[in-house]
């Protein structure tokens, strides 16, 4: 115990000393260097595992370590069993996050001047914020250290980029260099490599690389891949709806987003409800124009039953010019989306003629497409959300429970009508118009379900949501049209036909917006734009069948992961693979565009097999001299190495080198395991399946993906903003590498979120160091142990317990269930040893069994705590 109650770190420091010594041995012996065998490997003779290269706009954290630990433990297990193991690692720099951060830093410097002036300005904001916080009894939280901080925060809690750079340990004199995005590429990858070495990653670092055109060799690999896909008809130019960042002026793919990953465009039919004359004074400026309330609907087939339109009384609307004659009344947010879909007088810029409130629209007479009522009116609805659709809603009370109850409220509550100035003639004459027959619900489905659920008001949101759930899907899948030119046909057949007809005759337009809010890494809210882009044709029928075939043969380790891939394959369609902003490789045939960050990352695992032969121990591929020049890596050479193409006779690369590259690829491919967070199922991992099936022979298709959830710290979400956050380096310094790895193994094995518990790390420090001390004591007192063959009942039980531990732990490692392996190979084994000590009593423990125990325990814990195990008897 330390003096004065101070906490002693002697046990942790001993582990750190051991780790440093063991890593020195590893480096000296080059134990993780992976060389192919002279002949093709037999099953289980080799293991090639990899991990999605992390993005280099910051320091690696425990979230990276958790996913990576699954690969590291698996590779160590296979190495322990004698397999030839390749575990490579690289660093991703393609895309917009680095460029966006560099530009943000540049703007801050332009705004605040030199760094000292900027720092003073920042400190003034901190002091002002501190005074406010103190007045409210709180203090801002440092996003990186989890302590009360003097860090400046902008409105909305966003840190200055300068302050973020400080948190990385950079001095003010160094930070300004990071206005150059390539400075990030030079700074962060080597830092990450050092952290991963301290973590004990069993990596062949000769094969590491960074992406983007800074590395001419990887650049040639990506260009070859893109040309290959285009020559196969897998890349086309098309006009499509795409999530788009107005600030960046380009599509915003998943990895370009600060929030909203996985969100897709939601397509609506925009119904043009013509405002009938005379126009009220508030709309006088619109005289001579065609004015429409523009209502977004997912159910154009129900328009026959319209009884009115809904507006939000307190909502903010505007009258926006669509072209020289037409004006749409809707929300500004919807107008911005339309402007990027070629529905604005000025491209990509909404033109508002009049600002309006919902109150200004109540009572407008409307002529709406398909409605059996020649004139309907705009009425107030209090539950409209203006962050969805256009803020204008069509009302079909026959089939929409919300509409039925809102109209019912207006009819039965005179005071409600009076409050919003609603005249009786706008409401009372309008009754339900039966338009669709649904089995069990009839032709007035909304009324029936509302009565069944005893809904009394439009404000009963939960009941109305249930009513909607009960009727909408049944209406689409089982409903039959009763009216219109498609009467007698199923709703699901009539719906697209009615939609197409409305658009064709000019009474509706197509409209799209993000399913949910999407914010780009530059900080702006994204829209849906109609863009002319290069697309990879994912979802094409024949290609999809190949992807499904590949998936069916893969080991995915749990049903939930398989279902995730199957669901993604069911909906994934064309993917925009080109960008105009950020870092990366240029589209070979269209140099104005870059390959986007997920499209250069689909088969790069193959690049690992030859990277060390190209780079000359340099991740950037720039060290001289090089045995091969980047321009020598032609399409013919890549085809020969990866696709079984003909020998590239025109190549100036020595034939022995070409053969060596091909041998490396053929030996290591296919990869056996790719470990990843489950959030990449919906993009990167599925893209990888698609592109492997397009480019490579079937025997080179991926063999396995193991997906995991996110990690929490001490049962709370890991978050920089709350301070509940640790980098890999911080965790190692606080707990040691092996205790950190121990907690990562204990955190969980499934696809649900796992939990890294600090107390488990501290307990691991105690357990490991106590075990070291015990082994040292046993060795020092070896002469007191009972000799001869095991003979007692306790001996037999202990020997059996060890056999069980070996068998069960091997099974758990083989199935990549590392928490279970920790239980059976460490906790259960130690409990068996402790019970054996107790059972032996004065007779003493058997020397051979104790030696066997120490050997078994160090071997079984080797994948999880390799430094500890290798120092005290473990084996590779």
Q: Among residues 199, 227, 254, which one ends one of the domains? A: 199
Q: What is the largest CA-CA distance in the chain?
A: 109
Question: How far is it, in rounded angstroms, from Cα 441 to Cα 431?
Answer: 18
pLDDT of residue 3: 43
Question: How far is it, in rounded angstroms, from Cα 456 to Cα 447?
Answer: 11
Q: Which residues contact 387 (CB under 8 A, 6 or more apart)?
A: 333, 517
Question: How far is it, in rounded angstroms, from Cα 669 to Cα 302?
Answer: 55
Q: Are residues 483 and 350 in the same domain?
A: yes
On whether residue 255 sits in a domain, the answer given is no
Nearest alpha-carbon partner for 328 in 379, 291, 374, 277: 291
On whether residue 659 sits in a domain, the answer given is no
Q: Are residues 164 and 269 in the same domain?
A: no
pLDDT along the chain (876 residues), means of 10: 58 96 95 94 95 93 95 97 96 89 86 59 50 38 34 49 86 89 94 97 96 94 97 92 89 83 90 95 93 96 96 96 96 97 94 96 96 96 92 95 93 94 96 93 92 90 90 88 94 92 95 94 90 92 97 95 95 88 92 91 96 89 82 96 95 95 97 95 95 97 95 90 89 97 95 93 95 90 88 94 96 96 96 93 88 94 95 54
**Cβ atoms within 10 Å of 175's Cβ, excluding its own:** 23
Q: Which residues contact 347 (CB under 8 A, 6 or more apart)?
A: 339
Q: What share of the chain is helix, strand, coil (3-state, %, to 5)?
A: 50, 15, 35
Q: Are 80 and 864 in contact (CB under 8 A)?
A: no
Tokens (6 digits) for 227? 């040309």
Q: Are residues 148 and 271 in the same domain?
A: no
Q: Among residues 152, 179, 199, which one ends one of the domains? A: 199
Q: What angle, rounded to 10 degrees, do the helices at 737-746 and 728-735 form? A: 110
- What are phi and psi for residue 873, nearest 5 degrees? 110, -5
Q: Which residues contact 739 (CB under 8 A, 6 or more apart)?
A: 12, 15, 761, 762, 764, 765, 768
Tokens (6 digits) for 314? 């307190």
Q: Which residue has the tokens 């420091």?
A: 13
Q: Are residues 174 and 285 in the same domain?
A: no
- What are phi and psi for residue 345, nearest 5 degrees? -60, -35
pLDDT of residue 484: 93
Q: Are 657 and 628 in contact (CB under 8 A)?
A: yes
CATH number of the domain to which 373 belongs: 3.90.740.10
On whether residue 182 sits in a domain, the answer given is yes
- What are phi and psi for residue 329, nearest 5 degrees? -100, 120
Q: Are residues 186 and 284 in the same domain?
A: no
Beta bridge partner(s), residue 531: 240
Is beta strand 250-251 parallel, antiparallel or unpaired with respect to 235-245? antiparallel
Question: How far is it, in rounded angstroms, from Cα 685 to Cα 675?
Answer: 10
Which burial class, exposed, middle or buried, applies to 145 when counting CB atoms under 10 A from its CB (0-12, 13-18, 19+)?
Answer: middle
Q: Are residues 295 and 160 in the same domain?
A: no
Quickly count helices (H) and strands (E) in the chain.
28, 28
pLDDT in tens, 250-265: 888 777 788 888 888 9
Q: Are residues 272 and 191 in the same domain?
A: no
Question: How far is it, in rounded angstroms, from Cα 307 to Cα 224?
Answer: 59
pLDDT in tens, 721-744: 788 899 999 999 999 999 999 999
Q: Among residues 199, 230, 247, which one ends one of the domains? A: 199
Q: Are residues 192 and 275 in the same domain?
A: no
Q: Which residues contact 254 (CB under 8 A, 6 or more apart)?
A: 261, 262, 598, 682, 683
On whether residue 146 sits in a domain, the answer given is yes
Nearest 5 degrees, angle CA 126-CA 128-CA 133? 90
**Cβ atoms within 10 Å of 169's Cβ, excluding its own:** 11
Question: How far is it, in rounded angstroms, from Cα 186 to Cα 179?
Answer: 13
Nearest alpha-carbon partner for 386 in 335, 450, 446, 441: 335
Nearest 5 degrees, angle CA 268-CA 271-CA 277? 155
On whether residue 420 sits in a domain, the answer given is yes
Nearest 5 degrees, angle CA 541-CA 546-CA 552? 120
Q: Which residue has the tokens 């009615």?
A: 498
Rounded to 10 degrees, the C-alpha dihedral 470/475/477/483 comes to: 170
Question: How far is it, in rounded angstroms, from Cα 256 to Cα 478?
Answer: 40
Q: Are residues 269 and 161 in the same domain?
A: no
Q: Are residues 294 and 186 in the same domain?
A: no
On whether residue 184 sits in a domain, the answer given is yes
Nearest alpha-carbon partner for 702 in 605, 610, 611, 609: 605
Nearest alpha-carbon partner for 462 in 405, 393, 387: 405
Question: How far is it, in rounded angstroms, from Cα 723 to Cα 146?
Answer: 3
Tokens (6 digits) for 752? 């649900």
- The pLDDT > 90 percentage for the chain reads 75
Q: Are residues 291 and 427 in the same domain?
A: yes
On whether residue 136 sits in a domain, the answer given is yes
Q: Are residues 280 and 384 in the same domain?
A: yes
Helix, strand, or coil here: 562?
A: helix
pLDDT of residue 170: 87
pLDDT in tens, 477-535: 899 999 999 999 999 899 999 999 999 999 999 999 999 999 988 888 999 999 888 99
pLDDT in tens, 322-373: 999 999 999 999 999 999 999 999 999 999 999 999 999 999 999 999 999 9
pLDDT of residue 168: 86
Nearest 5 degrees, angle CA 65-CA 68-CA 74? 135
Tokens (6 digits) for 592? 């104005």
pLDDT of residue 110: 82
Which burial class, exposed, middle or buried, applies to 834 when counting CB atoms under 10 A from its CB (0-12, 13-18, 19+)?
Answer: exposed
- The pLDDT > 70 percentage for the chain reads 93
Tokens (6 digits) for 651? 């190549």
Dihedral sign for Cα atoms in the order 469, 474, 476, 477: positive
Task: Please indicate, yes or no, whether the overall pTM of this predicted structure exceeds 0.75.
Answer: yes
Question: How far is it, in rounded angstroms, from Cα 347 to Cα 361?
Answer: 27
Q: Where are the beta strands (DSSP E) in 490-603?
A: 508-514, 519-520, 527-536, 575-576, 578-579, 586-587, 590-595
Nearest 5 degrees, angle CA 476-CA 477-CA 478? 100
On whether residue 687 sits in a domain, the answer given is no
- What are phi and psi for residue 443, nearest 5 degrees? -100, 10
Q: Which residue has the tokens 């395991």?
A: 673
Domain that holds residue 152: 97-199
Question: How far is it, in rounded angstroms, from Cα 551 to Cα 543?
Answer: 13
Question: How far is it, in rounded angstroms, from Cα 394 to Cα 310?
Answer: 6
Q: Which residue has the tokens 């069509």?
A: 394
Rounded to 10 degrees, the C-alpha dihedral 225/227/232/236 comes to: 110
pLDDT of residue 625: 77
Domain count, the chain: 2
């Amino acid at each position: 115990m330390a003096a004065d109650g101070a906490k002693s770190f002697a046990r942790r420091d001993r582990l750190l000393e051991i780790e440093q010594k063991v890593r020195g041995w590893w480096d000296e012996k080059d134990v993780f260097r992976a060389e192919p065998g002279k002949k093709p490997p037999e099953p289980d003779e080799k293991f090639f595992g990899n991990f999605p290269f992390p993005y280099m706009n910051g320091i690696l954290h425990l979230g990276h370590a958790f996913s990576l630990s699954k690969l590291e433990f698996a590779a160590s297990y296979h190495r322990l069993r004698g397999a030839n193991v390749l575990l490579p690692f690289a660093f991703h720099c393609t895309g917009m996050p680095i460029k966006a951060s560099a530009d943000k830093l540049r703007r801050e410097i332009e705004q605040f001047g030199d760094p000292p002036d900027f720092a003073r300005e920042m400190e003034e904001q901190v002091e002002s914020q501190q005074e406010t916080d103190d007045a409210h009894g709180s203090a801002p939280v440092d996003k990186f250290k989890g302590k009360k901080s003097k860090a400046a925060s902008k409105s909305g809690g966003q840190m200055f980029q300068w302050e973020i750079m400080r948190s990385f340990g950079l001095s003010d004199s160094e930070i300004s260099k990071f206005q150059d995005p390539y400075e990030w590429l030079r700074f962060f990858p080597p830092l990450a490599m050092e952290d991963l070495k301290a973590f004990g990653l069993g990596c062949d670092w000769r094969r590491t690389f960074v992406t983007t055109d800074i590395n001419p060799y990887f650049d040639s690999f990506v260009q070859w891949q893109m040309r290959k896909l285009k020559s196969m008809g897998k890349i086309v130019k098309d006009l499509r709806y795409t999530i788009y960042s107005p600030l960046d002026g380009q599509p915003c793919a998943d990895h370009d987003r600060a929030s909203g990953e996985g969100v897709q465009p939601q397509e609506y039919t925009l119904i043009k409800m013509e405002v009938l004359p005379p126009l009220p004074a508030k709309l006088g400026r619109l005289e001579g124009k065609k004015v429409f309330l523009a209502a977004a609907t997912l159910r154009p087939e129900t328009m026959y039953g319209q009884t009115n339109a809904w507006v939000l009384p307190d909502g903010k609307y505007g009258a926006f010019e669509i072209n020289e004659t037409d004006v749409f009344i809707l929300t500004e947010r919807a107008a911005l989306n339309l402007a990027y879909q070629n529905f604005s007088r000025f491209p990509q810029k909404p033109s508002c003629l009049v600002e309006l409130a919902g109150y200004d629209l109540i009572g407008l007479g409307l002529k709406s497409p398909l409605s059996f009522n020649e004139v309907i009116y705009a009425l107030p609805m209090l539950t409209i959300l203006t962050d969805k659709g256009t803020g204008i809603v069509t009302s079909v009370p026959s089939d929409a429970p919300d509409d039925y109850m809102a109209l019912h409220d207006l009819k039965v509550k005179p005071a409600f009508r009076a409050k919003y100035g609603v005249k009786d003639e706008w409401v009372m004459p309008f009754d339900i118009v039966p338009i669709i027959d649904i089995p069990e619900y009839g032709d007035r489905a909304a009324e029936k379900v509302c009565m069944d659920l005893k809904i009394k008001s439009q404000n009963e949101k939960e009941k109305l949501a249930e009513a909607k759930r009960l009727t909408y899907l049944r209406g689409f899948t089982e409903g039959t049209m009763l009216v219109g030119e498609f009467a007698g046909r199923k709703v699901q057949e009539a719906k697209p036909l009615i939609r197409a007809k409305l658009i064709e005759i000019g009474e509706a337009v197509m409209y799209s917006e993000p399913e949910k809010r999407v914010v780009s890494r530059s900080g702006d809210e994204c829209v849906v734009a109609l863009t002319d882009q290069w697309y990879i044709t994912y979802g094409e029928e024949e290609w999809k069948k190949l992807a499904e075939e590949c998936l069916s043969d893969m080991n995915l380790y749990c049903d939930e992961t398989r279902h995730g891939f199957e669901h993604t394959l069911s909906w994934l369609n064309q993917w925009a693979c080109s960008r105009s902003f950020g870092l990366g490789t240029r589209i070979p045939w269209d140099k104005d565009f870059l390959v986007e960050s997920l499209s250069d990352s689909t088969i790069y695992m193959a690049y690992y097999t030859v990277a060390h032969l190209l780079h000359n121990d340099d991740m950037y591929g720039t060290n001289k001299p090089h045995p091969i020049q980047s321009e020598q890596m032609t399409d013919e050479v890549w085809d020969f190495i990866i696709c079984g193409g003909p020998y590239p006779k025109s190549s100036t690369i020595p034939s022995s080198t070409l053969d060596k590259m091909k041998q490396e690829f053929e030996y290591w491919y296919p990869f056996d395991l790719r470990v990843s967070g489950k959030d990449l199922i919906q993009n990167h991992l599925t893209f990888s399946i698609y592109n492997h099936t397009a480019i490579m022979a079937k025997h080179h298709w991926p063999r396995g993906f193991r997906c995991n959830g996110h990690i929490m710290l001490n049962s709370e979400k890991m978050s920089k903003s709350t301070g509940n956050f640790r980098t890999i380096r911080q965790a190692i310094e606080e707990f040691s590498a092996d205790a950190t790895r121990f907690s990562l193994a204990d955190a969980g094995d499934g696809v649900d979120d796992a939990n890294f518990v600090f107390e488990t790390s501290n307990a691991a420090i105690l357990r490991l160091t106590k075990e070291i001390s015990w082994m040292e004591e046993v060795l020092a007192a070896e002469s007191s142990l009972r000799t001869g063959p095991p003979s007692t009942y306790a001996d037999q039980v202990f020997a059996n317990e060890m056999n069980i531990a070996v068998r069960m732990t091997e099974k758990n490692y083989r199935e990549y269930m590392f928490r279970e392996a920790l239980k059976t190979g460490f906790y259960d084994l130690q409990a068996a040893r402790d019970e054996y000590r107790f059972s032996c009593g004065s007779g003493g423990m058997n020397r051979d069994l104790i030696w066997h125990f120490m050997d078994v325990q160090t071997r079984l814990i080797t994948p999880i705590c390799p430094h500890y195990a290798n120092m005290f008897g473990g084996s590779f």
